[in-house]
Structure 1
Amino acid sequence: MQVTETGAEGLKRAFRVVVSAADLDARADARLNELKGQVKLNGFRPGKVPVAHLKRVYGKSVMSEIIEQTVNETNGKIVEEHGFKLALQPRIKGPEEDPQFQTLLDGGKDLAYDVELEILPKIELGNFKDISVEKPVVEVTEAEVDEAVQRIADANRPFATKEGPAADGDRLTIDFTGYVDGEKFQGGEGQDIDVLLGSKGFIPGFEEQLVGASAGENRTLNVTFPEGYAAKELAGKAATFEVTVKSVDAPGAIALDDAFAATLGQESLEKLRETVKARIAQEYAGAARQKVKRALLDGLDATHKFDVPEGLVEQEFYGVWSRVNEDLAAQSRTFADEGTTEEEARQDYRRIAERRVRLGLVLAEIGERNNIQVSDDEVTRAVVERARQFPGQEQQVWDYYRRTPEALASVRAPLFEEKVVDFLLELANVTEKTVTKEELFKDDEDEKAA
């Protein structure tokens, strides 16, 4: 066997491999001898089939198997002998592309093919203690707890039939039929639908035009679907809804006391307040964690500069770019609507893809060097949590992950990433800064707007 390096540029390597016909034929004959005691052919006793006859019957399929094994083994040796870490699977200009491939299957011909490899870069890790990040801290106020408890009470407030016109806060039960350009549209009809006036649960203008309506009254509502409406065939279009008000209910009083807390499964109002406060604190902690993680990743990105495999960048970019175009299509928007061009957007998202790949490689290197691992039990618990998000379908979800290695890897990867982040935060210079709720979420809102 001859292996000749034919290219070395950046992280790409190319080799020409030639395996002699004698080597292939010897391996094929050995395989046929193995089959001799296994196959059953009419007219021959078990184990007594002549090898020459086996070759006539199975020769091409055996040689095809030997070629595949040889290619895989040879590629493995190239990687091992050069100490490569592959970014992607080898790209082979295989023997099947040879016009004389069928002749090769007959034996007596050298196997020659080209293999292209893209390898992972050698990463020099920086000093993590040089990274400084600021952790925002928000104290949960009693006023916030009061507001949250009140929202819970409002959501559980009793309603009673009301005589007279409806006002904000009242609940109407309606039937409606919608028209666009004089024609009914899919999803534009509903019966016994509850509408809470002032909740902004319907498209703009719908609830407002029902203020003052009484039970038994018919109203015609003129509205316009938002430009970003989910059903793109309706986005931005004017519509008319014929509405029949079937009943008007007014909200009743509700006492914030231990009895109310008991209806929610809490021992007392104080326990309910504690639960609400803990949930708000958990929300703030999650937002703070994301800010700290983002700052940490920015620090890693600034201190680690190296070439990344083009193939990995292409894969990441394709995934990001596909989602971008799907989102634009769903909203019936264009790049011009976003204040950019397709070419500029491509460049921006390619930079994002490159950053993601680089940071992924850095995190993987840190995890490997420091023996950071995710146990099978941790993965199992995460899958169970995902399954619980689909009541009644838990077994199907569990079976899907158990049968799909890629899906299981998608569970393991974020667990690994969070472990590496925790490891780095132990070493980095983390300082706490008290901020307001608005400051904590400001960047998130800015990013969503962008």
Structure 2
Amino acid sequence: MQVSVETTEGLERRMTVNVDEERIASAVDDRLKNMTHTVKLKGFRKGKVPFKVVKQQYGKQVREEVVGEVLQSTFYEAVSQQQLQPAGTPNFDDLKHEAGEGLSYTATFEIYPAIELAPLAEQTVEKPVTEIGEADIDRMIETIRKQNMDWQTVDREAKEGDRVNLDFKGMIDGEVFEGGSGQGMQVELGSGRMIPGFEDGLLGARAGEDRTLEVTFPENYHAAEMAGKPAVFETHINSIEEPVLPEVDAEFAKKLGVESGDLSEMRNEIRDNMQRELDTRLRTRLKEAVMDTLLAANPIEAPKSLIENEERTLLQQMLQNLASQGMQQQDLSGINPEMFREQAQKRVTLGLIMSEIVKANDLKVSPEAVKARVEEIAAPYEHPEEVVKWYQSDRQRMSEVESLVFEDQVVDWVLDQARVIEKPVSFDEIMTSENAQ
């Protein structure tokens, strides 16, 4: 077998392979000889068909099969001989395999980049640190109160923060548009959930009143046929309600699962829950800082084929998420995977760097570490033991946890190598930034 390789561009290689006819012919003859013992042909007893007849009948078909198999096997022999590591699937062309002339082809593929890890001693990683104060707990309690608030009917003009129940009919150019009418719709004034001007137009309204609202649909409105168009909504106000926050008392504590109703115990449980969430987000922020450091210290070229595969994976994940939220298939068509190019390139590049770190430092994941991580993930749930069983019952889910543990080990390794500077941040800053992301 003769092999030659040329570099075409970047990580792309074009390899030409020539296989002697003897290898093809020998494999074809061996297979045909085996067939003489099993093949059935009219006029011959089973196992008594002459080799010449079998070759005449099946020779072309068998050669095609052998060529396909030799193509695959010689490709991997050739890349091993040339000490190349293909990334992605090769493209075969210039295939020639006429009888008596052997086999020749070219394979175009990308290879994994050679990575020489940069020293990290001069690299700086900012580690966010914070503590939960009493004021943070107070704000969390207020958030929980709002999540558990009730509504009570009032006999006054509607103001911001109120909830208005109304019937409506929307028209564009004097015609009611599809989906433009309804009854008993709840609108929370000041929430910003309606199109601009709709909520403001209900301020000052009273129950039983009819109001006409003149608004304009945003230019980027999801229904293209209405985007940017002026519309008129005729509304009838059924009722106005104001929010009523629950008192912070024993009943409130019991509703949050504190059976004793003790407010100090409630605050301690809230603090514990906040601390778990904070620890997770601090770890995520620190991991992001470590990954950014690795990318900056190790600028490498990632194979395009791997990036494109990652783009398709990210697109598929997004489509599944949107479909689970009720989006119709026709609304999801035409999305270009290239919109994930930057994210995909970052993920592939980090994957290559982290793999090199794992290999160079012989990092291994222990079963104990995986078990501990599963238990950590399950801890916030009402029945953590069921969550642990759910993970342990599926190999794919456990593999995902193993990947997380590997990432943690890489993060720890980087933190041991680099200079770590603690950066004080507030609890709200951590929570708000993470929610925004």
TM-score tier after normalising by the smaller chain length: 0.7 to 0.9
Please name the residue that 2:418 is paired with.
Answer: 428
Please name the residue that 2:32 is paired with.
Answer: 32
- Pick one of 301, 308, 315 that aligns with 2:295: 301
Aligned-partner Cα distance in 1 for 2:179–2:265: 43
Please name the residue that 2:271 is paired with.
Answer: 277
Residue 151 of structure 2 contacts residue 241 of structure 2 at CA under 8 Å; is this kept in 1?
Answer: yes
Secondary structure of 1:22 counterpart: helix
Alignment of 1:334-373 (within 5 A): 357-372=348-363
Secondary structure of 1:90 counterpart: strand
Alignment of 1:102-113 (within 5 A): 104=98, 107-113=99-105
Q: Deviations over 1:4-23 (max 9, x none)?
A: 34557653433322223332
Alignment of 1:218-233 (within 5 A): 218-233=210-225
Q: Deviations over 1:51-74 (max 9, x none)?
A: 333334433332122111111111
Q: 1:240 to 1:272 in 2, by over 3 A?
A: farther
Deviation at 1:77, TM superposition (A): 0.9
Please name the residue that 2:62 is paired with.
Answer: 62
Which stretch of structure 1 is more off in the superposition, 255-264 or 161-170? 161-170
Aligned-partner Cα distance in 2 for 1:66–1:131: 55
Deviation at 1:27, TM superposition (A): 0.5
Deviation at 1:39, TM superposition (A): 4.2
Q: Deviations over 1:156-186 (max 9, x none)?
A: 2233333343333332222222223333334
Aligned-partner Cα distance in 1 for 2:303–2:408: 24
Alignment of 1:39-438 (within 5 A): 39-95=39-95, 98=96, 104=98, 107-252=99-244, 254-267=246-259, 268=261, 269-312=263-306, 357-372=348-363, 416-437=406-427
- What residue ranges of structure 2 are gaps of 5+ in the alignment? 318-337, 382-386
Q: Deviations over 1:221-261 (max 9, x none)?
A: 22233344444444443322222222233334621112122
Aligned-partner Cα distance in 2 for 1:212–1:200: 17
Secondary structure of 1:87 counterpart: strand
Please name the residue that 1:20 is paired with.
Answer: 20
Q: Percent identity over the alignment?
A: 37
Residue 146 of structure 2 contacts residue 245 of structure 2 at CA under 8 Å; is this kept in 1?
Answer: no
Aligned-partner Cα distance in 2 for 1:42–1:271: 90
Residue 164 of structure 2 contacts residue 187 of structure 2 at CA under 8 Å; is this kept in 1?
Answer: yes
Secondary structure of 1:49 counterpart: coil
Residue 38 of structure 1 contacts residue 46 of structure 1 at CA under 8 Å; is this kept in 2?
Answer: yes
- Say what the alpha-carbon RMSD is for the aligned residues: 4.3
Secondary structure of 2:234 counterpart: strand
Q: 1:85 to 1:145 in 2, by over 3 A?
A: same
Please name the residue that 1:11 is paired with.
Answer: 11
Residue 131 of structure 1 contacts residue 296 of structure 1 at CA under 8 Å; is this kept in 2?
Answer: no
Q: 1:31 to 1:375 in 2, by over 3 A?
A: farther
Q: Deviations over 1:327-384 (max 9, x none)?
A: xxxxxxxxxxxxxxxxxxx9x99787665544332112112233445689969979x9
Aligned-partner Cα distance in 1 for 2:120–2:256: 47
Please name the residue that 2:326 is paired with.
Answer: none
Secondary structure of 1:160 counterpart: strand
* One-letter code aligned to 1:433: K
Aligned-partner Cα distance in 2 for 1:275–1:233: 51
Q: 1:171 to 1:415 in 2, by over 3 A?
A: same
Deviation at 1:220, TM superposition (A): 1.6
Q: 1:222 to 1:302 in 2, by over 3 A?
A: same
Residue 36 of structure 1 contacts residue 51 of structure 1 at CA under 8 Å; is this kept in 2?
Answer: yes
- The alignment's TM-score, normalised by the length of structure 2, stands at 0.75
Q: Figure out how many residues of one structure are paired with residues of the other and give that number.
A: 402
- The alignment's TM-score, normalised by the length of structure 1, stands at 0.73
